[in-house]
Amino acid sequence: MSSARYVIDASHSHASFSVRHLMIFNVRGDFQKFSGEVEYDPENPEKTTVQVSLEVVSINTRDEKRDGHLRSADFFDAESHPAMDFKSTGARLQGGSLEVVGGLTIRGVTREVVLTVEEITQEGKDPWGNTRIGGTAHTKVKRSDFGITWNATLDAGGVVVSDEVKIQLEVQLIKQA
């Protein structure tokens, strides 16, 4: 098998995050609109390339007021920076996982992150004749690294929103001709 180009099937994929809130539990959310493509060869996974764009305005934490605050200049500043983008710069096998290294751009600030890719499936045909694969990837980032520093101190100590954000991608990809 040689390298193939795949596009993300967003209707069968999920881009989510979680962040500690009030120091006691995780708030979870997702981005409902995103796109991207992957160049992948299971015989040479180190040559994998990934490009993903998430529409910030599509953020959904199941709370309209919080979502509006997250879209504001306090957090993502969706009006000035409508997308978060990841573009890989390299890949390496590490243990049983594929680590895809690249630049994550949020609010115009790009930082290197490592996506740990697991559970890459074998190719399979869908009922409409498309060839598909699936995969799961995750990473952690510090929002302060991207200039997202809004917070408030709690009376009992601690902060309203933690700096660390966990990101999870579960994608289904359609092979392109």
What is the rounded distance in angstroms from the CA atom of residue 69 to the CA atom of residue 121?
37
Q: What is the mean pLDDT of residues 156-171?
A: 80
Residue with tokens 């992948």: 40
Residues 6+ apart with CB under 8 A from 137: 100, 115, 116, 117, 118, 168, 169, 171
Residue range of the domain that includes 80: 4-175
- 10 Å CB burial of residue 84 (0-12, 13-18, 19+) is buried
**Least confident span in 14-28, 70-84, 115-129:** 14-28
Whether residue 13 contacts residue 57, with contact meaning beta carbons closer than 8 Å, is answered with no
pLDDT value of residue 142: 94
Question: Whole-angstrom Cα distance, residue 45 to residue 22?
Answer: 40
Degrees (nearest 5) of the Cα angle 23, 28, 34? 140
Q: Report how far Cα 48 is from the mean position of its chain's Cα atoms.
A: 16
Q: Classify residue 49 by its DSSP letter.
A: E
> Residue by residue, what is the 3-state secondary structure of 77-114?
CCCCCCEEEEEEEEEEEECCEEEEEEEEEECCEEEEEE
More reliable by pLDDT, 174 or 66: 174
1-5, 13-17, 34-38, 73-77: range with lowest mean pLDDT: 1-5
**Model pLDDT, residue 164:** 85
pLDDT of residue 127: 94
pLDDT higher than 70, residue 23: no
pTM for this structure?
A: 0.90
pLDDT in tens, 102-157: 999 999 999 999 999 988 999 999 999 999 999 999 999 998 999 987 766 656 66
Instruction: Write down the pLDDT at residue 25.
Output: 77
CATH code, 164 = 2.40.128.110
Mean pLDDT, range 80-86, rounded to an integer:
97
Nearest to 163 by CA among 177, 176, 150: 150
pLDDT at 171 over 70: yes
User: What backbone torsions phi and psi does residue 96 show, to the nearest 5 degrees?
Assistant: -95, 15
**What span, in angstroms and rounded, lies between the C-alpha atoms of 155 and 90?**
44
Structural domains counted in the chain: 1
pLDDT at 139: 96
Q: Strands 49-55, 34-40: parallel, antiparallel or unpaired by DSSP?
A: antiparallel
